[in-house]
Amino acid sequence: MAALSLISSCWVLLSIIELALTGTVRDRDGNSDWLAFGERLALAVVGALFLATALSWQRRGAGVCARCGSAHSARSSARWYPTPSAAPPRVRRIAYAGCGVFGPYLFLHALGAAGVAGIEPNGFRPTWQAVAGGVIGIGLAVFLLLGLVQTWGMVFPRWTLWLSGRRVPRFLPLAPVWLIAPTLALYGTGSLVYAFFTEYGVLSLGGAASVAFAGYGWALAIAAVSYQVRTRPSCVRLADPAPTA
């Protein structure tokens, strides 16, 4: 049930982007689509609640702590956070590949902005400002992905000034990750499969976009799982109270 809810809500990110850019949400025919947008948001929330409830139920059934998943006494109510560490080499390589898949997509957009014919659909020529905006957006996406696999994603680095040395709250990177990763992974994979069987074509701007979205989305999901495991806190036993006179 949780998986179905989350899969059904996978397009919520596209609606949020449209809302941020245009101030409204519309369907393919240009009609108002607020009802469907609300349904997607509700499905995302329901899916997340289902997952949290199922995990808690599974842990309680196994006789372990519902918060940390470990077996300990009821007095263990304090929390211990792991020492910051980078992701395993394999996960880091996947993350680097997820960053690199944006290269062909940006390169083709740059060719279109330079006036090379046949790159953009319907003879469209993007402005260099639009290309620069895409570079900035992709830069933020790369920053998020790298933060999941590096130690500075667990503890604020020195260049963050007054935040330096403080632990990064887990929800700070994970909330946006689990909002965008399912959408990008499923949308990119679906459009890539579609490109193989239609005249849409894989070796095109649309194909490069599909590869970029799918590659980044799956890399983001894998890095997020690693980040969750590496940052999962454990419950520790509180010190016994000192005896009173």
Please determine, for residue 132, whether its predicted confidence score (pLDDT) is greater than 80: yes
∠ CA 71-72-75, rounded to 5°: 150
Is-contact 142 99, C-beta < 8 A? Answer: yes
Please determine, for residue 49, whether its predicted confidence score (pLDDT) is greater than 80: no
Same domain, 43 and 155: no
Q: Is residue 84 part of a domain?
A: no
CB proximity list for 37: less than 8 A, separation 6 or greater: 12, 15, 19, 25
Higher pLDDT, 94 or 69: 94
Same domain, 101 and 175: yes
Structure tokens at 127: 């402005």
Structure tokens at 52: 């949290």
Rounded average pLDDT over 198-214: 77
Same domain, 23 and 114: no
Same domain, 99 and 57: no
SS3 of the chain: helix, strand, coil, percent, to 5? 65, 5, 30
Same domain, 94 and 207: yes
Give per-residue pLDDT as tens, 58-80.
777 777 776 666 666 665 566 77
pLDDT of residue 239: 55
CA nearest neighbour of 25 among 15, 35, 39: 15
Please determine, for residue 99, whether its predicted confidence score (pLDDT) is greater than 90: yes
Is-contact 50 5, C-beta < 8 A? Answer: yes
* Residue 78, φ and ψ in degrees, nearest 5: -80, 160
Distance separating the N- and C-terminal Cα atoms of the chain? 57
Same domain, 38 and 150: no
Same domain, 139 and 20: no
Give per-residue pLDDT as tens, 107-120.
888 888 888 877 77
pLDDT of residue 176: 83
Structure tokens at 216: 């980044």
Domain count, the chain: 2
Say which range, 7-11, 95-99, 110-114, has the weakest mean pLDDT: 7-11
Q: Is residue 76 part of a domain?
A: no
Q: Is residue 165 part of a domain?
A: yes
Give the residues across from 234 on adjacent strands: 80
pLDDT of residue 242: 45
Same domain, 168 and 105: yes
Same domain, 101 and 153: yes
Please determine, for residue 95, whether its predicted confidence score (pLDDT) is greater than 80: yes
Domain limits for position 32: 2-63
pLDDT of residue 245: 41
Same domain, 153 and 99: yes
CA nearest neighbour of 43 among 240, 234, 183, 174: 183
